[in-house]
Amino acid sequence: MNAIPRIFGRLTVCLMMLPAVAWAQSDAAPVRLSAVEAGQQRDRIEAVGEARAARSVTLYPESTGIVTRLNVAAGERVEAGETLVELESAQARNALERASAELRDARNRLERYESGKGAGTFSPTTLENVRREVEIARLTREQAQLDLADRSRQAPFAGHLGLTDLEVGQRVDPDTPITTLDDRQTLRVRFRLAGHYHGQLAVGDRITLTAWARPESPVSATIQAIDSRIDRDTGTFQLEARLDNRDDRFRPGMRFRIIRELAGPRHASIPATALQWGDNGAYVWRVEAGTAERVNVTLVARQADQVLVDGPLEIGDDVVSEGAQRMRPGIEVRIIDPATLDDYPRIDAVRDTPAQ
């Protein structure tokens, strides 16, 4: 009976000695190391812009009169030179015919006078007066042609028409709007940025646009103009981007969310898990020659699972990214080779013979 207590006591002593033996065999702290890499800070700029057509006009009549023909349909595309509105033009046509007849008479008279010039029938002064009459008749006819042309309004360029309030038979004057015309194959998107970004963007840079009405479809645009001055009241400056709209997805007046990332200064990049915090701020554990060293750093920015820091770190330095809670200054660090963790001896296996 006395043998049992003695065996139990010896077993207890052996179990108590096992942790000490294990620690004596390996007194280093197992951690994961990551190399310091070069990273670049990136500033994300966001703004709101409004789209404008590449060319946009409100059309007005050139003269006063009654509308006799109206060829305006909202949303319809027209070509340059296509007639949109015609006014009553009988009086203008009569004036052109009369001016044409007077020009013919003046030219015939001049021809007769010049044929008798060599015989001395007409004095030089008379010939000069007739030539002046021809020139006046020619100018009168040209003015009559312009007056007739003003009785209709053509599209100055190809584009899409807007709404109109005109009706056939309505009397209009040069202050009566006919409709709008937009060339929207290319849109101009204007937006403003804070003054301290001036000089960080250039003509030709690409930006990302997202229409508020279509947040699922971001598109790319090119900066084509940058204002030369900063507004004194707002501290901002204006930019204009060109958006290709040949597929006619967007409309003038749409609002866009504008995003652009700017490359900033370069810093040391480390895993976010390597950054520790203490009473004196942020720090990391750097391992050199198998020994841990605490290095104070300054957090600059977070980028996904990495952080950018400033401090006495060099590219390629090893920092502790896992197991930092076990670190102490000067502690020995045992570097584990992951390839050896699964280095188990081979096990032979025999396949069973199928039952007969």
pLDDT in tens, 47-96: 999 999 999 999 999 999 999 999 999 999 999 999 999 999 999 999 99
Say how far apart CA 108 and CA 91 lie, in whole Å. 26
Per-residue pLDDT at 26: 45
Contact 93, 151 (CB under 8 A): no
pLDDT at position 136 over 50: yes
The stretch 214-234 carries a mean pLDDT of: 91
Tell me what pLDDT residue 342 has: 63
The mean pLDDT of the chain is 85
Q: What is the pLDDT of residues 333-348, one digit of tens each?
A: 877 666 666 666 677 7
Lowest mean pLDDT among 92-106, 224-238, 251-265: 251-265
Q: Tell me which of 144-148, 170-174, 332-336 is least confident.
A: 332-336
Q: What is the rounded CA–CA span in Å between residue 327 and residue 98?
A: 106
Residue 260 has pLDDT above 70, yes or no: yes
- The predicted structure's pLDDT at residue 254: 93
| Confidence band, pLDDT 50/70/90 cuts, at residue 5 | very low
Q: Which residue intervals of the chain are DSSP H helices?
A: 3-25, 90-115, 124-149
Q: Which domains are delineated in the chain?
A: 29-40+266-338 (2.40.420.20), 47-53+186-264 (2.40.30.170), 89-150 (1.10.287.470)
pLDDT at 330 over 80: yes
Segment 118-133 mean pLDDT: 77
Instruction: Please say if the pLDDT value at position 13 is more than 60.
Output: no
pLDDT at 120: 59
Lowest mean pLDDT among 155-159, 254-258, 261-265: 261-265
Among 295, 328, 336, smallest CA distance to 314 is for 295
The percent of residues in the chain predicted with pLDDT above 90, rounded, is 62
Query: Any idea which of 47-56, 114-123, 215-224, 236-245 has the lowest mean pLDDT?
Result: 114-123
| CA separation for the pair 93, 235 (Å, rounded) | 58
Q: Tell me 336's DSSP state.
A: P
**The pLDDT of residue 160 is above 70:** yes
pLDDT score for 199: 87
Distances in whole angstroms, Cα of residue 255 to Cα of each of 48, 168, 304: 7, 36, 30
Looking at residue 308, its pLDDT comes to 92
Mean pLDDT over 251-279 rounds to 90
Which residue, among 302, 317, 336, 266, has the nearest Cα to 34 in the 3D structure?
Answer: 317
How far, in Å, CA of 215 to CA of 3, rounded? 82
pLDDT at 23 over 60: no
Out of 8-17, 164-173, 192-201, 296-305, give the one with best mean pLDDT: 164-173
